[in-house]
Amino acid sequence: MELKANHPDTPAQIPLSAAALESDGFKRIAELSELEPHGQFSKWVDDHDLLVYRYEGVLKVLSNVCPHFGGPVGYHKLNEGKFVCLWHNYEFLAKDGSCLTNKHLGLRDYEVRELDGEIWVKLVENTSKT
């Protein structure tokens, strides 16, 4: 069983298991192979549109919903460290989801883990309803 923690706050020596991830609120959303051939993909999971990609070797997940008008941020392949939303060319840094076009906007990031070739994401961090 491959053990890998991908979140910078998670020490690498803490073992992961599917049961532990589930109890911690993570959900299996895809396989690592889905990153090919572009190094990224987007997918709707429980009404969250997730943009999954590798940045400087680290697996990351951002919201794929552009806060401008809701367009797909990950439609174009990541280029020069930036995503460009298809609809209106809003630019976002892959490093942290911050918006270059409007500094007041940004993309929410998700906690992510890799386990046995699968990608797990925590969709909800605050369990109180809006």
Partner 1 sequence: MATLRSECSLEMDCPKEVVIWNYYDHEHVVGTHYKHYNFLRILAEKEGWCLVERFYKLPIIQLRTSSLGFMFLENPNLIRSIQYGKLGIIFDQEIHLQDLGPDRCKVTSIYKMKVWGIFMIFQGLFQKVTTKWFMNTWDEDAPMRIRRWKVWKLGFRNFEGIEYINHRTTKPDESARSSYPLQLPVPKTPERPPGSGYRRLFSKSVEVGY
Among residue numbers 56 through 75, which ones bind partner 1 (CB under 8 A)?
63, 65, 67-72, 74-75
- Round to whole Å and give the CA distance between 54 and 78: 10
What's the distance, CA 115 to chain centroid?
A: 15
Cβ-based nearer residue to partner 1, 72 or 118: 72
Candidates 47, 57, 80, 103; binder of partner 1 (CB under 8 A) is 47
Instruction: Check residue 97 for interaction with partner 1 (CB under 8 A).
Output: no
Alpha-carbon torsion angle 70, 73, 75, 80, nearest 10: 160
Instruction: Check residue 55 for interaction with partner 1 (CB under 8 A).
Output: no
The two beta strands, 26-31 and 3-4, are: unpaired
Candidates 6, 40, 60, 97; binder of partner 1 (CB under 8 A) is 40
Instruction: Check residue 46 for interaction with partner 1 (CB under 8 A).
Output: yes
Task: State the amino acid at position 80 in one-letter form.
Answer: E
Contact 110, 121 (CB under 8 A): yes
Instruction: Check residue 125 for interaction with partner 1 (CB under 8 A).
Output: yes
Contact 92, 55 (CB under 8 A): no
Footprint of partner 1 on this chain (CB under 8 A)? 38, 40-42, 46-48, 63, 65, 67-72, 74-77, 84-90, 101-102, 104-105, 108, 124-130
